[in-house]
């Protein structure tokens, strides 16, 4: 038997990454491009998306930048249709945008609740739905949504964020069930604590930062780049029989016991 890395290659594939300007989205774009995909780097921050795309091109990959707000249904439809019309396919979707308002539930306002739900859950739904329609027609594709360890374990101040991340898992499972007969796979990645702009508040407080480091089995935070491998895996033929699954990439956080109450 010949051993080959071809299972993990994405040559000739077209990928759309939402949130590609920074953090996990940027790591996703770089990882997919490194595996051979043409990557559309989408973000509300066009300059950041272009910087990511330029970095891919400088490294010998193929990428384009586009401005995209995933909560804008008409913009999502237009972006997806543009890619489909040009390339006749979208093989991979990675959606990473999220927001968190760290407050105890009794202090939450309705507007804050709507803000978190609107991006984390509705935005993810809109872009997954639009891309899934293309994939269903082509009878192939991999959709990767980003949940969190907060879908399984929560702490004070994370209630609404955690609710959206738990909801994303059920959304992915429902899509997996509905799209499976068409050959489209849908999975979630659930990271632990990752150094991204979203976690800057925690990183700036040494006791909080150190407590989170001690909370997982590896004793450290993840780098955004450490999400690229799992993303490429779920996008590639190496995961051809995996759908409706949740891959925890959390350094063992959900495997061990411990607790920290953050200063909110």
Structure-token pair, residue 226: 């450490």
Indicate the DSSP class of residue 118. I
The tally of CA atoms less than 13 A away on the side-chain side of residue 244 is 11
Residue 161 among the catalytic residues: yes
Three-state DSSP state, 187: strand
* From 108, 161, 212, 241, the catalytic residue: 161
How many other C-beta atoms are found inside a 10 Å radius of the C-beta of residue 131? 25
Contacts of 173 by beta carbon, 8 Å cutoff, 6+ apart: 186, 244
Pick the closest to residue 165 from 191, 153, 147, 192 (CA basis).
147
How many other C-beta atoms are found inside a 10 Å radius of the C-beta of residue 170? 12
Q: Do the Cβ atoms of 6 and 232 come closer than 8 Å?
A: no
Structure-token pair, residue 168: 């994303």
Residue with tokens 């930062």: 209
Kindly list the catalytic residues.
161
């Amino acid at each position: 038997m010949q051993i080959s890395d071809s299972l993990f290659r994405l040559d000739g594939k077209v990928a759309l990454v939402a949130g590609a300007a920074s953090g996990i989205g940027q790591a996703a774009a770089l990882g997919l491009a490194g595996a051979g995909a043409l990557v559309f780097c989408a973000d509300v921050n066009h300059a950041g998306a272009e910087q990511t795309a330029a970095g891919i091109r400088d490294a010998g990959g193929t990428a384009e930048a586009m401005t995209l707000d995933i909560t804008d249904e008409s913009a999502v439809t237009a972006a997806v249709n543009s890619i489909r019309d040009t390339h006749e396919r979208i093989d991979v979707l990675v959606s990473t945008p999220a927001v968190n308002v760290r407050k105890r539930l009794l202090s939450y306002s309705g507007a804050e609740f709507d803000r978190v739900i609107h991006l984390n859950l509705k935005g993810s739904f809109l872009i997954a739905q639009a891309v899934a329609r293309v994939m269903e027609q082509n009878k192939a594709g991999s959709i990767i949504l980003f949940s969190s360890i907060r879908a399984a374990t929560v702490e004070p101040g994370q209630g609404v964020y955690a609710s959206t991340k738990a909801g994303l898992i059920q959304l992915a499972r429902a899509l997996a069930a509905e799209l499976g007969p068409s050959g489209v796979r849908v999975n979630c990645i659930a990271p632990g604590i990752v150094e991204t702009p979203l976690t800057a508040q925690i990183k700036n407080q040494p006791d909080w930062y150190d407590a989170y480091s001690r909370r997982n089995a590896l004793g450290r935070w993840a780098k955004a780049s450490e999400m690229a491998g799992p993303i490429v895996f779920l996008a590639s033929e190496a995961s051809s029989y995996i759908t409706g699954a949740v891959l925890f990439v959390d350094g063992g956080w959900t495997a061990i016991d411990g607790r920290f109450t953050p200063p909110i």
